[in-house]
Amino acid sequence: MPQDQVEEMPEQALSEDYWYGGDVATFGDRLAAAREAAGLKPGEFAKRLGVKKSTIIAWEEDLSEPRANRLSMMAGLLNVTVGWLLTGDGEGVDLSDGSDSSEAGLVAIMTEIRNIRMSMKRDLERLARLEKSLRKKV
């Protein structure tokens, strides 16, 4: 990352628009944040939506995506807009109610950890495919 971007990061990091925007967060990140902000556990949220807990987890880990009807139900239950869930634009979770910038910082760190884990998982899967391909050629 260029030095000028590193210096700008702290000001941007305080904005929930930055951390939940399409450039930083995924659909799964925003869904997990909205569910947590609503005080719902994955199992409780799944029951309200009429899906399995594993489905919620798959959505939050960006392994699959919900159909439009479920997406609309989700947005209503979580008090966010469909657009925010999909892209980060629009009305999303409100971190200012009863929280301070340190809580926003924790959410940002958790989001970054989730992104790194997903990236590592994809890289490990790719590495396994390459090793398998190499073994076939040797």
DSSP 8-state code for residue 21? S
* pLDDT tens-digit series, residues 51-66: 999 999 999 999 999 9
Domain residue spans in the chain?
A: 3-137
Q: Has this prediction a pTM greater than 0.95?
A: no
* pLDDT tens-digit series, residues 99-130: 455 666 677 677 778 778 888 888 899 999 99
d(CA 65, CA 55): 9
d(CA 34, CA 11): 23
CB 42 within 8 A of CB 35: yes
Q: Cα–Cα distances in Å, from 35 out to 104, 133, 135?
A: 15, 40, 44
Look at the chain and count its residues.
138
* CATH 1.10.260.40, applies to 3-137: yes
